[in-house]
Structure 1
Amino acid sequence: MWRKPKHVEFLWDVLVLAMTSFGGVQVHIALFLKKLVKEKGYLTEDELFEIQALCSFLPGPTSTQMITAIGYKRGGANLAYVTLIAWISPAVFVMTLAAFGMTYLRNRDIIQFVTPVGIGLILQAGWIMAQKFLRAPMYILIFLFTVAIGLYIQSPFIFPVLLLIGGLISSLNFKDFPRQNKHKMIIPWANFHLFWGFLVFLAVLGHFTDYYPIRIFENFYRNGSLVFGGGQVLVPVLFTEFVEFKHLIREDDFLTGMTLSQTLPGPVFALTSYLGVLLMKDYGTIGELAGSVIGALGIFLPGTFLIFFVYRIWGQLKQYRFIRASLPGIQSVSVGLTIVAVYAFIHPMIIQANLIGFGIVVVTFLVAQMTKLPPIALFVIALLAGIIVS
């Protein structure tokens, strides 16, 4: 009797998420919670938020690192790599096609109702997290402090600082956590050495060979190694480097790709595939396709190397009480940052008096909270409504 290969269902669910997860990392986390935790039970809520807290400290695409870590948890390194490919492939494919001329997709009217749906799902995820983590005065104060600072200092570079502060404050409660038998830590340094070693190797190789594909690979890898805060931070960094400083890409071409990357499901970091094609336009079709691969590998590899390194030692780190005690504080900060993200999205609606958009946010929150309607259905309805209206 034929038996379905192991992990096929999980990989299919990842692929479905990759094709339906509009709206950036906050929406991705909400959908991971609904699909992978509540519907399929691949991991628990605690495990998901633990992975989120861990990935929040690392540079690179947070949602991509999260889904890769989930794959690693379920099936080791091999499944993690396949999970990564399943997650990034749809967005990379569409962005590559877009660079070859599918610019008509820049019609934002089609997705005008998708963003409010995404905001509603973010709000619902924040509500679930708040109920779970804000159960003591200390954590409520950390949450309020995060919201206040996040709204006052509107820079993504403050996020890792807030996570660190929240973790440090919360770690003072270490005496409330039971002791565990400590074992000598065994740290597999290979992936960490791959992370920084590859960066140095590419920089040196690009300098001495001056080979153009190597140099742009190094550019993408360097940005993937240093950017905290997700796609909203990566975009201006890449714009400064490739448009304003090196003049390798025209401004209107870059903005077209940026618009597409923010309207498609999956990781916003897939923008680099589009840019890779444009950067290799003088190398023919094969060169342009290679540029797409260079852009994707360059931006996603650093975060993958890091999450493989950190996740492998995470189980050992948790034997220390102050590490376990820091997690509720980090998670309280995550709740605060979620509310900051909701405000950032809703603020333009308030300025523009967009009552329809605001109403969609509220309806989406209530539907997600009170029914079992899958998020994909909400996104499909929003897309169809946008197509009809546009």
Structure 2
Amino acid sequence: MADQGPVRGRISEVFWAFLALGLTSFGGPVAHLGYFRTAFVERRQWLTESAYADLVALCQFLPGPASSQVGFALGLMRAGPWGAAMAWLAFTLPSAIVLVLFALGAAVLDGPIASGIVHGLKVVAVAIVAHAVWGMARNLCPDKTRVGIALAAVFTVVLVSGPLGQVSAIVLGGLAGLALCRDSAVATPSESLHFPVTRKAGMVALGLFGGLLIVLPLLAGMAAWLDIADAFYRSGALVFGGGHVVLPLLEAEVVQTGWVTSDAFLTGYGAAQAIPGPLFTFAAYLGALLPGINGLLGALLALLAIFIPGFLLLVGVLPFWNQFRQWGSAQALMRGANAAVVGILGAALYQPVWTSAIIGPYEFVLALTGFLLLTVWKLPAWMVVAIVAFAGIFLPTP
């Protein structure tokens, strides 16, 4: 293990290490975890290989952006609460700034070239989400039981629209996993993780997490900023499985409510694939477009609201994790919930992603090309986005 050094020096070290990652970590949450392992296990030796694997397992168990939660926890381990804050800020800020600038500039884009690029960004979203569904299905639905749970989740989302359908699918998936996926659970590593978080602090964090989840919907409607905080906090609190899964939740909150058009939503989602850093910064793009609030303030509020629940839950669980992971039913429950996530994302691939972007055979061919570039040629996501967005210039005008 590397020497810890003075706290102030460690905070600075955390900030610069994660800023470098925030500027260069393309490829989504799974790729981010690979970058983190190289940077903090191999190069800096902040923790052991087994401890890192345990930390990743913990964050994959919880709702929220898994890679950002791992980064937050690494900063917490290295330099305490300020280290956690700096890790999140440095990793998140570059992509958030780019997406906010894109949102504020996209409103004034016109002309055939700009329209073609926007059209291409909508099409590439189909390839990106299809690739995510394919990869997640292979990893999270490897047997007939979990395929059935995923299929049931699709039916649930179709029959019960909006956030209620998605939450119901996850809850039912978790219960099904608890009953049917016990044989799939594997033993967890015996090595313990240690964080500077007391049990009292953990209980306070869990109380805040649950309290905000209950109180914010009751306050919604009193002011525009409370509506925004409620929508994005709820989306961040209910996301299992990584950044792509937030797509249907955010679509239900901002498109179905009429805050943001479907075209603007998919354009921003496509742009978010072309930049490094966490996909949750897509919230900053949406926040900058929301009515009733200043663009920059809306972006900041949406960004904080979508990340805070995952961090509160992580801090709340950390003091109890070593005991909780010994519970034999915990892994079974999460396997069922993760299978349901695949179904939710599969439903989102059709509506709104496919139905809004694939309006003819040319769009279909371009989306299929993007999918094959990702899955067969294994090009990085940002390169595929750039190629398909450029090709959108040559598509017939929709």
Normalising by structure 1, report the TM-score. 0.66
2: CA distance, partners of 1:46 / 1:361: 37
> Could you tell me which residue of structure 1 aligns to residue 72 of structure 2?
72
Mapping 1:273-284, distance limit 5 Å: 273-274=287-288, 279=293
Mapping 1:105-120, distance limit 5 Å: 105=109, 107-120=114-127
- 1:338 aligned counterpart, secondary structure: helix
1: CA distance, partners of 2:254 / 2:384: 27
> Could you tell me which residue of structure 1 aligns to residue 144 of structure 2?
137
1:122 and 1:296, CA in 2 relative to 1: closer, same or farther beyond 3 A?
A: closer
**Superimposed CA distance per residue, residues 109-168 of structure 1 (whole angstroms, 9 cap, x where no aligned partner):** 323223333322332332233233333332222122223333444434212221221221
Q: Which of 313, 328, 331 is matched with 1:321 structurally?
A: 328
Letter aligned with residue 325 of structure 1? A
Mapping 1:14-33, distance limit 5 Å: 14-17=22-25, 31-33=28-30
- 1:371 aligned counterpart, secondary structure: coil
Asked if the contact 2:149/2:340 (under 8 Å) is kept, the reply is yes
2: CA distance, partners of 1:270 / 1:117: 20
1: CA distance, partners of 2:99 / 2:135: 33
Q: Which runs of 5+ in 2 are unaligned?
A: 1-11, 40-48, 193-197, 239-247, 273-278
1:176 and 1:226, CA in 2 relative to 1: closer, same or farther beyond 3 A?
A: closer
> Could you tell me which residue of structure 2 aligns to residue 160 of structure 1?
167
**Superimposed CA distance per residue, residues 216-264 of structure 1 (whole angstroms, 9 cap, x where no aligned partner):** 5544433333445532133158757xxxxxxxxxx9xx99976775554
Q: Which of 103, 106, 110 is matched with 2:107 structurally?
A: 103
Asked if the contact 2:153/2:344 (under 8 Å) is kept, the reply is yes
> Could you tell me which residue of structure 2 aligns to residue 285 of structure 1?
none
- 1:279 aligned counterpart, secondary structure: coil
> Could you tell me which residue of structure 2 aligns to residue 361 of structure 1?
367
> Could you tell me which residue of structure 2 aligns to residue 248 of structure 1?
none
Letter aligned with residue 288 of structure 2? Y
> Could you tell me which residue of structure 1 aligns to residue 384 of structure 2?
378
1:9 and 1:103, CA in 2 relative to 1: closer, same or farther beyond 3 A?
A: same
**Superimposed CA distance per residue, residues 273-326 of structure 1 (whole angstroms, 9 cap, x where no aligned partner):** 52689635xxxxxxx866664554455444543443246544432211111122
> Could you tell me which residue of structure 2 aligns to residue 27 of structure 1?
none
> Could you tell me which residue of structure 2 aligns to residue 191 of structure 1?
205
1: CA distance, partners of 2:167 / 2:252: 13
2: CA distance, partners of 1:291 / 1:178: 43
> Could you tell me which residue of structure 2 aligns to residue 233 of structure 1?
252
Letter aligned with residue 320 of structure 1? W
Letter aligned with residue 329 of structure 1? G
1:326 and 1:33, CA in 2 relative to 1: closer, same or farther beyond 3 A?
A: same
Q: Which of 93, 97, 102 is matched with 2:97 structurally?
A: 93
> Could you tell me which residue of structure 1 aligns to residue 20 of structure 2?
12
Asked if the contact 2:146/2:339 (under 8 Å) is kept, the reply is yes
Q: Which of 259, 264, 283 is matched with 1:269 structurally?
A: 283
1:148 equivalent in alignment to 2:182: no
2: CA distance, partners of 1:15 / 1:51: 22
Q: Which runs of 5+ in 1 are unaligned?
A: 21-29, 56-61, 241-250, 281-287
> Could you tell me which residue of structure 1 aligns to residue 34 of structure 2?
37
1:166 and 1:41, CA in 2 relative to 1: closer, same or farther beyond 3 A?
A: farther
1: CA distance, partners of 2:229 / 2:146: 36
2: CA distance, partners of 1:48 / 1:304: 14
1:16 and 1:114, CA in 2 relative to 1: closer, same or farther beyond 3 A?
A: farther
1: CA distance, partners of 2:284 / 2:338: 27
1:80 and 1:380, CA in 2 relative to 1: closer, same or farther beyond 3 A?
A: farther
- 1:135 aligned counterpart, secondary structure: coil
How many residues in Structure 1 have an aligned counterpart in Structure 2?
340
Q: In angstroms, what is the RMSD of aligned CA positions?
A: 4.6
2: CA distance, partners of 1:99 / 1:358: 26
1:276 and 1:318, CA in 2 relative to 1: closer, same or farther beyond 3 A?
A: same
2: CA distance, partners of 1:219 / 1:45: 38
Letter aligned with residue 86 of structure 2? V
Deviation at 1:270, TM superposition (A): 1.3
1: CA distance, partners of 2:218 / 2:140: 46
Asked if the contact 1:114/1:383 (under 8 Å) is kept, the reply is yes
Mapping 1:344-355, distance limit 5 Å: 344=351, 345-348=353-356, 352=359, 354-355=360-361
**Superimposed CA distance per residue, residues 181-236 of structure 1 (whole angstroms, 9 cap, x where no aligned partner):** 9x9x957212234446679999999xxxx9xxxx6554443333344553213315
Asked if the contact 2:22/2:92 (under 8 Å) is kept, the reply is no
- 2:326 aligned counterpart, secondary structure: coil
> Could you tell me which residue of structure 2 aligns to residue 81 of structure 1?
85
Q: Which of 207, 220, 231 is matched with 1:223 structurally?
A: 231
Letter aligned with residue 354 of structure 2? I
Deviation at 1:54, TM superposition (A): 2.2
2: CA distance, partners of 1:158 / 1:98: 31
Deviation at 1:383, TM superposition (A): 2.9
1:98 and 1:132, CA in 2 relative to 1: closer, same or farther beyond 3 A?
A: closer
2: CA distance, partners of 1:384 / 1:141: 39
Sequence identity percentage: 20
1:38 and 1:347, CA in 2 relative to 1: closer, same or farther beyond 3 A?
A: farther
Asked if the contact 2:154/2:344 (under 8 Å) is kept, the reply is yes
Asked if the contact 1:199/1:221 (under 8 Å) is kept, the reply is no
2: CA distance, partners of 1:120 / 1:204: 38
